């Protein structure tokens, strides 16, 4: 078979076949045009932002939710056990987290500390770090803690203090009666640890009052102790845990937590960051405020260009997801000349960048 015969056998069509091919090509052309034109008449579906925010939380995304991109951050102090739906809606928290909080409460759950809030499904490390400073809890311990307008702190001897003195210190009538029962049976306080054994006095009260107990000391010794406390001036970025224990209300555990968190941060740039230390309540922070200074020049900066993933991820304000994005960004674009590029490239949102800026 020659080439000409091959062409005639396989590429020669009858009149009906040519009509069929022509019609088929016209149909294909019309379908292709319709596929392009139909999008001009289609109405886009409405995005369910609540559902999208929930999905973002479940995937541990740290960027702002879709809603938060179009409104400024709005956080205020609130009790997760008592806040109503209306007030909860005004908080800049993903909708999925709000729903899970309410479901937890409906099933009889109760929040006793920040760690309980962290366990709510959808609460990522980024969300927790932003919301934790605004959480307020009303526990039995808190109710027994002397408040600013109910108590007055001063040096006292529990063996000789009057009922009025104990009430000034913030103790309740039942607590005072327990002390009197102990004394009526011949009990005496030989040191501060004896007073801490009194039943009914909360751990928080014991820690607060421990620094003000003086047993059998003369007046001039008391005056010396007051003067000694007044002389305390500690630079928090240079102090070790032993030195921090000199502060009123700060014991061994709290001093070690402060040092540990300070080392993770690279140093404090404001005393307000002490609220982020687990277990350090506002009452203690208020009391130590006059004895503590902050030298921001001691802050250890984060090296965005040479720090490896583990160094970046362990910083409380960066963590794993953001560390991954920084590594990818500098691998693709080279060295980071200005820290603001993290904001411009949407690696950090405005709140994350503001918190992290002193360390960049």
For residue 131, which of 167, 101, 174 has the smallest C-alpha distance?
101
Distance CA 25, CA 30 (A): 9
pTM: 0.41
- Would 144-223 and 232-298 be classified into the same CATH topology? yes
Distance CA 325, CA 331 (A): 10
Structure tokens at 321: 């997801």
Q: Which residues contact 142 (CB under 8 A, 6 or more apart)?
A: 204
Helix (H) or strand (E) holding 126: helix 125-131
Residues in a beta bridge with 35: none
CATH of 144-223 among 3.30.420.40, 3.60.110.10, 1.10.150.320, 3.30.470.20: 1.10.150.320
Count of Cβ atoms closer than 10 Å to residue 44 Cβ: 6
The predicted structure's pLDDT at residue 27: 92
Count of Cβ atoms closer than 10 Å to residue 109 Cβ: 14
Helix (H) or strand (E) holding 10: helix 3-10
Alpha carbon 60 to its chain centroid, in Å, reads: 15
Residues in a beta bridge with 213: 156
Provide the b/e sequence for 111-127 (b: ≥16 CB within 10 Å).
beebebbeebebbbbbb
SS3 of residue 15 by DSSP: helix
Hey, CA dihedral for 306, 311, 316, 319, is it positive or negative? positive
Residues in a beta bridge with 292: 234
Contact 326, 341 (CB under 8 A): no
Within the chain, which residues score under 70 in pLDDT?
1-11, 39-74, 138-151, 216-231
Query: For the segment 151-196, what is each residue's pLDDT rounded down to a tens digit?
Result: 677 788 888 888 888 888 888 888 888 888 888 888 888 888 888 8
The predicted structure's pLDDT at residue 159: 87
Distance CA 360, CA 354 (A): 10
Distance CA 21, CA 224 (A): 109
Q: Where are the domains of the chain?
A: 3-40, 49-138, 144-223, 232-298, 309-359
CATH dotted code for 232-298: 1.10.150.310
Backbone angles phi, psi at 278, to 5 degrees: -60, 130
The predicted structure's pLDDT at residue 319: 78
Query: For the segment 54-89, what is each residue's pLDDT rounded down to a tens digit?
Result: 555 555 444 444 444 333 456 778 888 888 877 788
């Amino acid at each position: 078979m020659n080439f000409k015969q091959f062409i005639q056998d396989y590429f020669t069509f009858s009149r009906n076949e040519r009509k069929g091919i022509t019609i088929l090509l016209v149909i294909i052309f019309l379908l292709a045009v319709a596929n392009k034109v139909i999008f001009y008449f289609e109405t886009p579906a409405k995005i369910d932002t609540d559902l999208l925010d929930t999905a973002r939380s479940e995937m541990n995304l740290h960027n702002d939710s879709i809603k938060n991109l179009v409104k400024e951050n709005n956080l205020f102090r609130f009790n997760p056990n008592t806040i109503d739906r209306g007030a909860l809606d005004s908080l800049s928290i993903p909708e999925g987290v709000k729903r899970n909080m309410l479901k937890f409460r409906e099933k009889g759950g109760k929040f006793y500390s920040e760690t309980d809030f962290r366990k709510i499904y959808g609460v990522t490390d980024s969300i927790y770090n932003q919301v934790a400073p605004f959480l307020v809890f009303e526990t039995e311990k808190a109710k027994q803690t002397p408040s600013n307008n109910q108590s007055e702190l001063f040096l006292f001897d529990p063996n000789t203090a009057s009922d009025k003195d104990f009430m000034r210190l913030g103790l309740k009538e039942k607590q005072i009666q327990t002390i009197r029962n102990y004394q009526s049976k011949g009990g005496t306080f030989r040191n501060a640890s004896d007073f801490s054994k009194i039943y009914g006095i909360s751990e928080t009260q014991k820690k607060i009052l421990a620094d003000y107990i003086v047993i059998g000391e003369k007046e001039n010794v008391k005056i010396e102790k007051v003067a000694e406390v007044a002389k305390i001036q500690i630079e928090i970025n240079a102090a070790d845990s032993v030195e921090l224990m000199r502060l009123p209300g700060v014991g061994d555990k709290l001093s070690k937590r402060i040092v540990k968190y300070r080392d993770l941060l690279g140093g404090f740039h404001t005393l307000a960051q002490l609220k982020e230390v687990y277990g350090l309540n506002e009452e203690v922070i208020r009391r130590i405020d006059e004895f503590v200074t902050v030298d921001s020049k001691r802050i250890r900066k984060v090296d965005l260009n040479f720090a490896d993933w583990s160094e970046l991820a362990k910083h409380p304000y960066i963590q794993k997801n953001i560390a991954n994005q920084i590594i990818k960004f500098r691998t693709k674009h080279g060295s980071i000349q200005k820290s603001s590029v993290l904001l411009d490239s949407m690696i950090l949102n405005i709140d994350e960048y503001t918190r992290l800026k002193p360390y960049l």
